[in-house]
């Protein structure tokens, strides 16, 4: 029979502290972990207003990596664009 382990649930701040304890020169920030949660890549359990995240899930995402977000290209404007000008009597 396989022994079940208790998930290592942490707040964002404590997850970053644990990662920095493992690797002091780690570039993982609280902002990045929050973005993982917000985008749904890492599941979260809400305990009141506290977001609890499984440390092992975050470490797994860091091991596997994530896809690079696709940048949306700005529409190409060619030629001269007309600018609407209000008559002076309308401007206050």
pLDDT, one tens digit per residue, over 39-52 is 999 999 999 999 99
pTM score: 0.68
Classify residue 91: in a domain, yes or no: no
- The number of distinct structural domains making up the chain is 1
Classify residue 31: in a domain, yes or no: yes
Using the predicted structure, report yes or no on whether residue 34 has a pLDDT greater than 90: yes
Alpha carbons within 13 A on the beta-carbon side of 72: 2
| DSSP H helices in the chain | 12-22, 30-38, 55-64
Classify residue 49: in a domain, yes or no: yes
Classify residue 87: in a domain, yes or no: no
Classify residue 92: in a domain, yes or no: no
Classify residue 34: in a domain, yes or no: yes
Using the predicted structure, report yes or no on whether residue 87 has a pLDDT greater than 80: no
Classify residue 32: in a domain, yes or no: yes
- Residue 70's pLDDT is 78
Domain containing 15 equals 9-64
Classify residue 86: in a domain, yes or no: no
In tens, the pLDDT along 69-79 reads 777 878 887 88
């Amino acid at each position: 029979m396989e022994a079940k382990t208790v998930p290592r649930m942490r707040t964002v701040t404590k997850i970053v502290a644990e990662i920095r304890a493992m690797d002091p020169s780690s570039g993982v920030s609280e902002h990045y972990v929050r973005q993982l949660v917000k985008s749904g890549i890492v599941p979260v359990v809400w305990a009141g207003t506290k977001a609890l995240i499984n440390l092992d899930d975050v470490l797994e995402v860091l091991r596997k990596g994530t896809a690079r977000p696709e940048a949306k290209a700005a529409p190409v404007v060619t030629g001269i664009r007309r600018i609407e000008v209000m008559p002076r009597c309308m401007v206050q």
